Structure 1
Amino acid sequence: MKKNLFKTLLTLGLVFALASCDTDDDNQVDPVAQSEFKFIRILVNDEVSKEISLVDPVKLTVEKFEAQFPKSALYGTQAGRFGALVNGANNFVQLFDTGFEGHGDHVDVKGTPKFGALTFTGNKPTHFKSKGDEIITFNDGDGTLAIAREADFHTPGAKMTIINTGNIAHHGAMTKFDNGTYAVTEKDGSVAGTLPERVKIIDASGKTLFASTLQTKGIHGNATNGTVSLFGSSSGILVVEPSGKQRLIAHSADFGDAWFGSILEARGAGKFIGFTAARGAYLIDIVANTVTPILANADIMQAKVDYAGNNLVTLLHSGEVRIFDLRTNSVKNNGSVIPATAKDETQKPQLEATTRFIYITQPKSGELLRINADDLSRVEKIKVSATPYRLSVLGIESDESH
């Protein structure tokens, strides 16, 4: 009798245990899906002070550093380890090291976060690009390029190397092709103002390999996938190949005088996006030579490709976020995330995104918002500095350490 009672109690205990496990599984939230990647960091600088905030978006903690100047433009390097602070007003570039070194299937940690030793005092460094282990600036004050490689970022006294492009000063830009050559803008004076009209191909010594074959009425904004480069132009989208071949893709007929002042590359989706505040965000097909709308809307405040280059994230002045899958050109998610921002606001919220989260600065409250990309109602507020100015995603989308 006692044996039968013991068996009955044991069976009931197992049943309750299994039922409890089933209940827990049903209600359990996948911790990986709700957390940012372990080796992602968000760098935020300030408009007024020299304060730099390095945000750990997993722990929701902040480390503080001091930059040389406030109000710099922020960028990340292609490998993800370094951030660049470009301050054209003070002719200065400095680099910030997360310490995260990607090795494909895992990430190594190389020391603690800190500024690099290499700095640059160029003539109005403005446009920034990163290709492989190289960083490049276009210096508006004299039309030169400046380059440096990551191996020198912690070398005491190291400076960027100047490439004389043969240009006159202008508000220019450049891209680097996979073959090591550069597509660089040039000013021929046919259009008033500082915007360039042409693009030529040079080598690392500054020698012109292929002269411009197309003249535009003004160029601003560019991107490359390494095999072709696109430049925004009032005459159309200028497509430049390493061979020197150039062509224009026409804007949509309803654009009028509007044109893409920003060109974005979505490397994960293998696509290019053109953005103009006057018309919205459009997909640029360099094979079909067509421009088709992703979001035709004149209320877009920010439009950014996420860190992996698979999605386009737009933030409207109304406070609504819309996420588009660039592989299918369809809406993945949308919803209101912040209060409306006036179009004439001096300092507007700034947007960046990873695969899992959207990050938006709040200049008036001194906060950085971390918003779940799958559930826009899940918002975390992180105090950064008094007047956050710009932000950049750094690191590697990985949870695997050595």
Structure 2
Amino acid sequence: MKRYYYAMGLAALVLTFSACRKNDNDAPVEKENKFVRILVSDDASPSLTLLDPATGSQTPFTGSGPLLALYPTGSGRFAGVVNSSGNLVSFFDSGVEAHDDHAHLKGTPKWALTTSTRVKPAHFKAWGNHILAFNDGDGSLSAVKESDLHTQAATSTINAGTAHHGAMAIFNNGTIAVTLKTGAVAGSLPEKVKVIDASGNTLHTGTISTAGMHGNAGNGTLAAFGAPEGILTITDAGVEKLIPYPDGIGTNWLSTLHYGKASAKFIGVRAKFGVFLIDPSSNTISALYQSDKIKSASFDAAGRNVIILEENGTLRLFNPVSKTQIASANMTQLVFPATGGPAYTSSTKYVYLTNPEKGELYMLRTTDLTLFKTVNISGKPGKIAMIGADLDKEDND
């Protein structure tokens, strides 16, 4: 009988231990969502790297030159790749297609067919299925629909005006707000805005003239442009207004603008000065964060939170709705060269921050900006974009 109870006790102990081991093995492993892809260009060579953070795999590609600017398209499947000095806009396909709450692989990562070879492409905008690049060299717009990137060899050209350092925003109805150079002010910056259709026909010409605009953003119904006098906004119907700056702005007018789709917020940025919330509905501009060390600021890939990078290596993450700082990290290992340098993007789970001079990319948790992983990338990884889909579920899961 004693042997029976002893054997039963031993069996129970083994089962308990096995259950504990099974539970330990079933603990979730921290990793990125399955369909997130990170595209990185190089500051010194034509190399591009496509990173799959969930698996750690890296796939090399060759672009048209160094310092290529990268912009996600409306669906996130593609990236617009802009080589301003090389007069080329091309498109890279992540091979991932999103469908609401799930995604699936669509072929393999590769270059799309469409390119644009207009002179000096600069500002790039994607909204819905529409894609535009403003060509500073002749004042034209290169246009293509995302759905045509594998079938249309070249972008179509919209004649929008004369050569200048211009910008544009796309409205939900397909019309476009684009800058207008009148010559009232010397230099390359435009003074006014107009609304045109997809053929370049002028629908509305703005009446507000500025001392020169730079930076713009749009939410599909409203386009905003930075100017010394304030933030100039215009609707698809041509209704304009000028949102005044708060006291203390002085000469630090907001020359970089972004719109965050998930937060439904506009921000304006001035390096070495501040990041400001722009509220067209209340006609006000208010500070989100101010410092003379700000190098750049932008939204994460979803447009939910604001990422701020400072010259001393401090990285900050802000919630623009609650107007509070989520976290900060002192990235003292960052090196800031004269050209190129650290750049960032963010998924729901991680902020991705490049450090070209050290050949490194850092993954920091969005909850507290603690370092999750350092990824070594050959060359000088600089500009960065999140493409693919911030999803973990496949269509057959």
Q: Look up the match of 1:131.
A: 127
CA contact (8 A) 2:67 2:340 kept: no
Q: Look up the match of 1:58.
A: 54
1:63 CA drift (Å): 0.4
The residue type equivalent to 1:226 in the other structure is G
Unpaired runs of 5+ residues, structure 2, are none
Choose from 380, 388, 392 the match for 1:387.
Answer: 380
CA distance in 2, matches of 1:7, 1:175: 74
Asked whether 1:102 is paired with 2:98, we answer yes
The one-character-per-residue Cα deviations of 1:171-208 (angstroms, maximum 9, x if unpaired) are 00100101111000001111111000111111111111
Q: Look up the match of 1:158.
A: 153
CA distance in 1, matches of 2:13, 2:243: 72
1:336 CA drift (Å): 1.1
Choose from 139, 160, 169 the match for 1:143.
Answer: 139
Choose from 186, 211, 228 the match for 1:192.
Answer: 186
Q: Secondary structure at the match of 1:253?
A: coil
CA contact (8 A) 1:318 1:341 kept: no
* Residues 340 and 125 of structure 1: CA distance in aligned 2, closer, same or farther (over 3 Å): closer
* Residues 61 and 260 of structure 1: CA distance in aligned 2, closer, same or farther (over 3 Å): same
- Higher deviation after alignment, 67-76 or 258-267: 67-76
CA distance in 2, matches of 1:15, 1:281: 56
Q: Look up the match of 1:75.
A: 71
* Residues 29 and 291 of structure 1: CA distance in aligned 2, closer, same or farther (over 3 Å): farther
CA contact (8 A) 1:80 1:395 kept: yes
CA distance in 2, matches of 1:58, 1:20: 25
The residue type equivalent to 1:57 in the other structure is P
CA contact (8 A) 2:64 2:83 kept: no
CA distance in 2, matches of 1:233, 1:341: 31
CA contact (8 A) 1:285 1:291 kept: yes
Q: Secondary structure at the match of 2:215?
A: strand
CA contact (8 A) 1:91 1:124 kept: yes
Map 1:175-254 to 2 at 5 A: 175-254=169-248
CA distance in 1, matches of 2:183, 2:254: 21
Q: Secondary structure at the match of 2:306?
A: strand
Asked whether 1:289 is paired with 2:283, we answer yes
Q: Look up the match of 2:107.
A: 111
CA distance in 1, matches of 2:19, 2:238: 68
CA distance in 1, matches of 2:378, 2:182: 43
Map 1:161-172 to 2 at 5 A: 161-165=156-160, 167-172=161-166
CA contact (8 A) 1:304 1:353 kept: no
CA contact (8 A) 1:47 1:70 kept: yes
CA distance in 2, matches of 1:89, 1:194: 17
1:78 CA drift (Å): 1.2
* Residues 340 and 392 of structure 1: CA distance in aligned 2, closer, same or farther (over 3 Å): closer
CA contact (8 A) 1:45 1:389 kept: yes
Q: Look up the match of 2:300.
A: 306
1:356 CA drift (Å): 1.0
1:100 CA drift (Å): 0.8
CA contact (8 A) 2:334 2:355 kept: no
CA contact (8 A) 1:258 1:278 kept: no
The residue type equivalent to 1:364 in the other structure is E
Choose from 311, 320, 327 the match for 1:326.
Answer: 320
TM-score by length of 2: 0.93
Q: Secondary structure at the match of 2:393?
A: coil
CA distance in 1, matches of 2:51, 2:129: 24
1:19 CA drift (Å): 6.5
CA distance in 2, matches of 1:112, 1:340: 33
The residue type equivalent to 1:183 in the other structure is A
The one-character-per-residue Cα deviations of 1:243-271 (angstroms, maximum 9, x if unpaired) are 11111111121011111111111111111
CA distance in 2, matches of 1:8, 1:347: 67
CA contact (8 A) 1:220 1:262 kept: yes
CA contact (8 A) 2:49 2:59 kept: yes
CA distance in 2, matches of 1:279, 1:58: 37
Asked whether 1:315 is paired with 2:309, we answer yes
The residue type equivalent to 1:172 in the other structure is G
* Residues 138 and 346 of structure 1: CA distance in aligned 2, closer, same or farther (over 3 Å): closer
TM-score by length of 1: 0.92
The one-character-per-residue Cα deviations of 1:306-352 (angstroms, maximum 9, x if unpaired) are 1111111111112111111222111111121233656x743321121
CA distance in 2, matches of 1:29, 1:253: 53
1:277 CA drift (Å): 0.8
Q: Look up the match of 1:335.
A: 329
Q: Look up the match of 1:279.
A: 273
1:9 CA drift (Å): 4.5
CA distance in 1, matches of 2:20, 2:378: 49
- RMSD across aligned positions (CA): 2.1
Q: Secondary structure at the match of 1:117?
A: strand
CA contact (8 A) 2:269 2:296 kept: no
Q: Secondary structure at the match of 1:278?
A: coil
CA contact (8 A) 1:283 1:291 kept: yes
Q: Look up the match of 1:258.
A: 252
CA contact (8 A) 1:222 1:232 kept: yes
